[in-house]
Structure 1
Amino acid sequence: MQQLQGAPWLVAHRSMLKPNQPMKISLLGDDYVIWQDSYGAINALPNACPHMGAMLSEGWCVTKADGSSAIACPFHALEFDYSGCTVLPGSQKQTKSLLQPLELIIQGDFIWTYGGYAPQIPIPPIMNNIAAEYEFIGVTGERSVGTDILSLLLNMHDYNHQNGTHRELFEIEEVQVKQFIDEGLHSHAYLSQPRKSPTLRDILKNPGQLAMPKVLEVHLENFFPFMGLMHAENKLLSLKECHFYVPETETQSRVFILMYMKAYSPIAHLIKGNLLKLIDLVVQQDADILEKIYPNTPQKIKLNNEVGMDWVRRNFESFPNL
């Protein structure tokens, strides 16, 4: 995958890694095993054992005498340390590195990587700023979607699809793009979205509706190609909905969302779980649509409010240049 090499990718939040439990991640056509040891150190190696190709993510972690951990292959129990070295049966000597570690950039709870490529754009400090000021309320919407990264990004920056994909969820009557600020690989979109008032039945079914006013005034901040933030505020809370996009393969993409909140009312704490469920449903609806489109269909119709999609197409074609 040549198109987006050199972009930073957030592959996980620390809360997604249970101590000494390996997890598989995919990035730019390669699979890795990532794990966190008992002391909080996080490492990643290629997921294929160099003996016979077994998935190391299906193995287990082994704690060494020095407190570090290694990954044990599920096939023959070979143990690989963080540098990719092992000790073969009958030998007392460690091998040279047989697996090239994936270079990770750990910033607090955020686990970034450039996927082994030279950085072309920096990691923005905004997530560290949000984490310092807001309460982390959880991860939601994580799933692998059967679509290429361009189609995923176009969907996430399509300001018209709320009326279709999410029509029953938000009852949005109209989308108004009040302002779009184009700063190259960084942009801001300010949307106004009048919606039908929820019924009592709607509220009982999803109390998260209480956090949504009659008109959704939304500020979307976009960092091409890896992150999109929704800044929302009302009398109950200030919300930071942080979307992350990961190109797994040419035809598979991963998405997950980190949710942060600043409560202005005790009610906000009562609906945290409902907010996570609401956003998970939004992502599921997006995933369902993305897996049922023909991505190479020529676009013969252009709607209003496609400025975000135009921004995605331009940056995708020229990345990393502006």
Structure 2
Amino acid sequence: MNQLQGAPWLVAHRSMLKPNQPMRISLLGNDYVLWQDSQGAINALSNACPHMGAMLSEGWCVEKPDGNSTVACPFHALEFDRAGCTLLPSSNKPTKSLLQPLELIIQGDFVWTYGGHEPKLSIPGIMNEIASEYEFIGVTGNRSIPTDILSLLLNMHDYNHQNGTHRELFEIEEVQVKQFIDEGLHSHAYLSQPRKQPTLRDILRNPGQLAMPQVLEAHLENFFPFMGLLHAENKLLSLKECHFYLPETEHQSRVFVLMYMKAHSPIAHLIKGNLLKLIDIVVEQDAKVLGKIYPDTEQRIKLNNEVGMDWVRRNFASFPAIAEPNLSRQWVA
């Protein structure tokens, strides 16, 4: 995959990695095995065993006396260290590196990588700031979706689809894009979304509704092409909903969401689990639609509020160059 090379990708949060349990990740057409040893060191190698191609992520980890660990092939139990070296049964000497390690950038609990390509964008510091100031609620919405990364990004920056894809979940009656600030590969969108008043039955079925006011005022901060943040404030809590996007293959993408909050009321702590479930449903609804579209369809209709989608298309076409915005730098409805 040649598109979007040089962008930073958040492949995992440390909470997603159980000690000494290998995990498969895919990025830009390549598969890797990712694991964390008992000392907290995180490693990644190409996932295909150089003997007969077995997936190392289907194997296991072997902990060593110094706390480091190797990953063992499920086919013949060959062990590979973090450098991709192994000991053959007939020798006590390690081989040269037979598997290419994936270079990782570990920032606290965040596992970033450029996928082996020359960096073209820097990793923004905002996630470190959020992690230092807000309570981590958890990871949700983690799934691969059978769609290309452009279709995924267009969906995530489509400010109209709440009325369709998420109609029953939020019962939003109207979407108003009040302001869009275009800063090249970085943008801010401010939305106002009046919703139908939930009934008592709606609240009992989904207590997370208590965290949603009659009018959803949303501030969306976007970092092309890898991250989108929802900044939300209400009387119960301050919420940071952090969406991450990854191009796994040409026709498959991955998304997951990290949730952080500051509680302004004890009720906020009671609904943390409901918030995670709510966002998981949102991602599942998006995945269902994205898995059933014709991505090459010519767009012959244009709706209001497509400013975010225009921003995606422009940046996708020009990446990694920062094109002169064809939107005003500070567009106000």
- Counterpart position of 1:70: 70
CA–CA distance in structure 1, aligned partners of residues 63 and 95 of structure 2: 19
In the alignment, structure 1 residue 211 sits paired with structure 2 residue 211? yes
Q: Which amino acid aligns with 1:77?
A: A
- Counterpart position of 2:290: 290
In the alignment, structure 1 residue 59 sits paired with structure 2 residue 59? yes
- Cα-to-partner distance string for 1:135-194 (whole Å, 9 max, x where unaligned): 000000000000000000000000000000000000000000000000000000000000
Measure how far apart 1:225 and its partner are: 0.2
CA–CA distance in structure 2, aligned partners of residues 316 and 212 of structure 1: 33
- Counterpart position of 2:36: 36
Measure how far apart 1:74 and its partner are: 0.4
Which 4+ runs in 1 deviate beyond 4 A?
none
In the alignment, structure 1 residue 88 sits paired with structure 2 residue 88? yes
- Counterpart position of 1:321: 321
- Counterpart position of 2:198: 198
Q: Report the 3-state secondary structure (helix = DSSP H, G, I; strand = E; otherwise coil) of the residue aligned with 1:150.
A: helix
Q: Which amino acid aligns with 1:44?
A: A
CA–CA distance in structure 1, aligned partners of residues 66 and 208 of structure 2: 47
Measure how far apart 1:251 and its partner are: 0.3
CA–CA distance in structure 1, aligned partners of residues 292 and 47 of structure 2: 30
Structure 1 segment 168-179 matched on structure 2, within 5 A: 168-179=168-179
- Counterpart position of 2:325: none
Aligned-residue RMSD, C-alpha: 0.4
Measure how far apart 1:65 and its partner are: 2.8
Q: Report the 3-state secondary structure (helix = DSSP H, G, I; strand = E; otherwise coil) of the residue aligned with 2:249.
A: coil
- Counterpart position of 1:230: 230
CA–CA distance in structure 2, aligned partners of residues 84 and 64 of structure 1: 16
CA–CA distance in structure 2, aligned partners of residues 241 and 93 of structure 1: 48
Q: Report the 3-state secondary structure (helix = DSSP H, G, I; strand = E; otherwise coil) of the residue aligned with 2:239.
A: strand
Measure how far apart 1:64 and its partner are: 1.8
Structure 1 segment 246-261 matched on structure 2, within 5 A: 246-261=246-261
In the alignment, structure 1 residue 305 sits paired with structure 2 residue 299? no
Measure how far apart 1:63 and its partner are: 1.1
- Cα-to-partner distance string for 1:90-134 (whole Å, 9 max, x where unaligned): 201110000010000000000000000000000000000000000
- Aligned pairs, number: 322
CA–CA distance in structure 1, aligned partners of residues 114 and 90 of structure 2: 38
- Cα-to-partner distance string for 1:44-64 (whole Å, 9 max, x where unaligned): 000000000000000000112
Q: Which amino acid aligns with 1:270?
A: L
- Cα-to-partner distance string for 1:241-272 (whole Å, 9 max, x where unaligned): 00000000000000000000000000000000
CA–CA distance in structure 1, aligned partners of residues 10 and 141 of structure 2: 15
- Counterpart position of 2:220: 220
Q: Report the 3-state secondary structure (helix = DSSP H, G, I; strand = E; otherwise coil) of the residue aligned with 2:140.
A: strand
CA–CA distance in structure 2, aligned partners of residues 200 and 65 of structure 1: 58
Which stretches in structure 1 are left out of the alignment for 5+ residues? none
Q: Which amino acid aligns with 1:61?
A: C
CA–CA distance in structure 2, aligned partners of residues 116 and 293 of structure 1: 31
CA–CA distance in structure 1, aligned partners of residues 137 and 201 of structure 2: 26
Q: Report the 3-state secondary structure (helix = DSSP H, G, I; strand = E; otherwise coil) of the residue aligned with 2:53.
A: coil
Q: Which amino acid aligns with 1:221?
A: E
Measure how far apart 1:224 and its partner are: 0.2
- Counterpart position of 1:265: 265
Which stretches in structure 2 are left out of the alignment for 5+ residues? 323-333
Measure how far apart 1:66 and its partner are: 2.4
Q: Which amino acid aligns with 2:15?
A: S
CA–CA distance in structure 1, aligned partners of residues 166 and 64 of structure 2: 50
Structure 1 segment 131-210 matched on structure 2, within 5 A: 131-210=131-210
TM-score by length of 2: 0.96
**Identity fraction in percent:** 85
Measure how far apart 1:26 and its partner are: 0.2
TM-score by length of 1: 1.00
- Cα-to-partner distance string for 1:56-87 (whole Å, 9 max, x where unaligned): 00000011232210000000000000000001
In the alignment, structure 1 residue 24 sits paired with structure 2 residue 24? yes
- Counterpart position of 2:328: none
- Counterpart position of 1:276: 276
- Cα-to-partner distance string for 1:249-306 (whole Å, 9 max, x where unaligned): 0000000000000000000000000000000000000000001110000000000000
